[in-house]
Amino acid sequence: MATQLPDLKGLTGRLRITGYAGLLALLVSCHTVQQPVRTEYNDYRITTALPRDTALAQLLAPYRDSVDRSMNEVVGTAEKALDKKQPEGTLGNFMVDAFFYGAEKSFGVKPDIGVLNYGGIRLTQLAAGPVTRGKIFELMPFDNLLVLQKVPGNVLQQFLDLTAGKKGWPVHGLTMEIRDGKATNVKINGAPLDPAKVYTMVNSDYVANGGDQAAMLKDIPQQSNGYLQRQALFDYIRFLKSEGKNISATEENRVVNAQ
């Protein structure tokens, strides 16, 4: 079948001709690439001396008030100050215990161990007294998920060596000593770590994906259901309140420096 082509005389641009069973489709694209000639800007120093924008403040007021009400809500009470420390601290123990509790509640299984990356703790201390929702957001501002991984014992040893080299991370369900930057005398729920055994570990998706240099974990499949680490903290605090308990934790020699 013959097809009459249009007159292309004087046409500029890019031409592509594609034939389908005797039909010709003509696609013409013309575009202009623009480059900036100059850039103009002014620097403004932001200080408390700047006049208040009343109109903007009124626009934001309903949203600010709503957020303030939510973030100022008291969700629990800290029995005493909890501190971020290495190789072990009360704040890290409280948080990793919360993640272990949350994993049991959310996944319906009891993991063997739980681990929290030390850098994920964003406060150096949780002060004694009322704890607000906003304070928990300060403590755990990232939307990291809790995930489960089935980790072979030999890989778990590599991972714990990594944490030992970083001076110790909060753990649940295991004890270990740090000697020369390595994890030694590792015990899982009281039994020596078995390199041939597979352990179920609750972790953050950030670390499970290889973050914080945990490359040995990134190829291990993850079980996830969208449950946030931060939500686990809220759920654990709510559980403690239902038991008539306050937020608390102790140092239990989970991770120690070898003598």
pTM of the predicted structure, to 2 decimals: 0.78
Q: How far apart are CA 97 and CA 74, in angstroms?
A: 21
What secondary structure letter does DSSP report for 126? E
Q: Tell me, what's the pLDDT at 2?
A: 47
The tokens describing 179, both together, are 């000697």
End-to-end C-alpha distance for the chain, whole angstroms: 91
Q: Coil, helix or strand for 156?
A: helix
What is the pLDDT, as a whole number, of residue 35? 78
What does pLDDT average to in each consecutive run of 10 residues of the chain (259 residues)?
Answer: 46 42 45 76 84 85 80 96 98 98 97 98 98 97 97 99 99 98 98 98 98 98 98 98 97 96
**Residue 54, C-beta contacts closer than 8 angstroms, at least 6 positions apart:** none
Q: Which helix (H) or strand (E) holds 236?
A: helix 229-242
Strand order in the sheet with 174-179: 191-192, 182-188, 174-179, 255-257
CA distance 155 to 220: 10
Taking a C-beta distance cutoff of 8 angstroms, is the pair 76, 244 a contact?
Answer: no
Q: What is the pLDDT of residue 193?
A: 99
Assign a CATH topology to domain 67-252: 5'-nucleotidase;  domain 2 (3.90.780)
Domain boundaries, the chain: 67-252
Closest by alpha carbon to 99, among 218, 223, 201? 201
The position carrying tokens 């089935």 is: 150
Contacts of 212 (CB under 8 A, 6+ apart): 117, 119, 166, 206
Give the SS3 label for residue 3: coil
Return d(Cα 167, Cα 84) in angstroms, integer.
13
Position 32 scores a pLDDT of 66
